Structure 1
């Protein structure tokens, strides 16, 4: 499915608009065995008197909890979108998807132990991070109030975790999903169940991305089995303009009730 790209200036800092807050916090992880860092964005006008949907937004293999912040400035994109009345109020949680004691993006990023840590993150997310967020923020609980999305390795994680835990997530997105993505028939073993439970499944990728075949393979499987989803092929490679555009397009569809 072709969709428009974000308008010019969507990712540029605007003066004199209400702003959200993005900050680094720590949460206890029984999965890893030590406290872990996570960045949390709360929207403009955030108040503990209200309750909020939550988007878990994941980074790539070379990043950590600050990768989106350092390279994608999601808080600027989201602040602008709130000012344009394009978003439902949501908390955005930016975790470190490398669930191991030394979770820094250093050394051999493809070391088997580090790849296993990306898989282990599923337990850290479900058992530690989500309970922390829902205990410490006015977060709405329930699958229909949670979304998961990510870029590259984080896109693969989002598909693996989101589609593997439809009791936790109704909204799933992947921007340029990497080869850690499970085979489509493993991701969606019950196409009827997935169709009935998913509020939205989003796949996007740049047309010059060497990993395009990963996303295309999932898209074609979903299409063949008539699982509703949004497929967005755009101009670009495996890089930030594609991922930021994915966030812009994906986030404004989240938590909209039909």
Structure 2
């Protein structure tokens, strides 16, 4: 069939994460998704989280979401006769501990994470050798658009961490952090800054032989704070034009990356002045606050003077009371913090895009 003869379900558009030339999945105006997969010899084809597909006479299998999808980014896989795989028609995303596919349900009237006609920063890999892990590692670095123009200028740095089952590519791919930063900087809403995204060693959670789940959780990503402080920060400071004092260094992370952020920053306040947890897995024991994190909260005045922004964000549909109660408890104890609740979102990238949008304008302001 020629391109001129092809017809599509009325009111649908191709998913923005399809490879060039691929027409499916398609997104409807009612936010339902139309899936179409060619598997003529398959006996059963499914779309993860959405159900079984129907085989057509031409060898294609089809499925339409039963309910409207929630706005934002969502993972999916194709399951053919029990074997799960990424959609060959989609661009790959590392999430759920594997390479998968993604759909984007447009958020009407919202464009802060859209690509616009503004100066664009550069997203590039930077390799270094880790003596802690005995391996070559790659961090992904965002430099603002003016970085290559203002060759004498130095910049503050935000270290931004992914969540469990993701890697150093997730914030720029799923999170669209570069577009968020480009837009905020161009609008004068935040300072130009370098953003560094590295692998937190939390891609796949597993329990080793003879190990309890609790022991596995304590081990999960446990090396990363040392890697960041002793290897990543020196590497970035040596290879990029950074401002190297604590007043110009921030860290934030989503989900398990929030726990790694707490474990890194709260044990190294000589190196960080800004802290952000986005749906953070980390928890602070309010009942034993004076001894939490080696007593970092015991001197409230000192903590508040050192930490200029302590940001706690979460989605309204992911049990926000756990973060709200922690925020309220910290405030009652005299620890300054900012609580943000993303309306209508759960444990998903739309929550974290919104958190990033709220967090970065607070950073590196003149005191």
Q: Which structure features the higher share of strand residues?
A: 2
Could you tell which deviates more after superposition, 112-121 or 154-163?
112-121
Aligned partners of 1:242, 1:117: CA distance in 2, in Å? 24
Name which of 103, 119, 142 aligns with 1:41: 142
Change over 3 Å in CA distance of 1:35–1:166 after alignment to 2: same
Does the CA contact (< 8 Å) of 1:31 and 1:127 recur in 2? no
Could you say what secondary structure the match of 2:221 adopts? helix
Q: CA 1:117–1:28 in structure 2 vs 1: closer, same or farther (change >3 Å)?
A: farther
Shift of 1:106: 4.2
User: TM-score if structure 2 supplies the norm length?
Assistant: 0.63
Q: Deviations over 1:151-205 (max 9, x none)?
A: 0011121122112211010000011011x44535214432332112111110111
Unaligned runs of 5+ in 2: 1-108, 208-212
Aligned length: 244
Higher helix share: 1
**Range that drifts further, 39-48 or 132-141:** 39-48
2:110 matches 1:8: yes
Contact 2:206 2:216 in 1 (8 A): no
Compared with structure 1, are the counterparts of its residues 147 and 107 closer, same or farther at alpha carbon in structure 2 (3 Å cutoff)? closer
* Larger RCO: 1 or 2 (CA < 8 Å, sep 6+): 1
Partner of 2:297: 189
Measured on the aligned residues, the alpha-carbon RMSD in Å equals 2.0
What's 1:154 paired with?
257
The residue number in structure 2 matching 1:31 is 132
DSSP-derived class of the 1:118 partner: coil
1:59 to 162, 166, 171: 162
Partner of 2:95 in structure 1?
Answer: none
Pairing partner for 1:22 from 115, 123, 131: 123
Which runs of at least 4 in structure 1 moved beyond 4 Å after TM superposition?
A: 109-115
Shift of 1:220: 2.4
Output the CA distance in 1 between the equivalents of 2:141 and 2:228.
14
Superposed CA deviations along residues 128-173 of structure 1, whole A, max 9, x for unmatched, are 0000000110111111010000100111211221122110100000
The structure number with the bigger radius of gyration is 2
Question: Does the 8 Å CA contact 2:162/2:170 hold for their aligned counterparts?
Answer: yes
Q: Deviations over 1:98-130 (max 9, x none)?
A: 1xxxx7x24749796585241210000000000
Gaps in structure 1 of 5+ consecutive residues: 1-6
Residue 239 of structure 1: which of 348, 352, 358 is its match? 348
Cα distance change, pair 51–228 in 1 and its aligned pair in 2 (3 A): same
The CA distance in 2 between the partners of 1:44 and 1:121, in whole Å, is 29
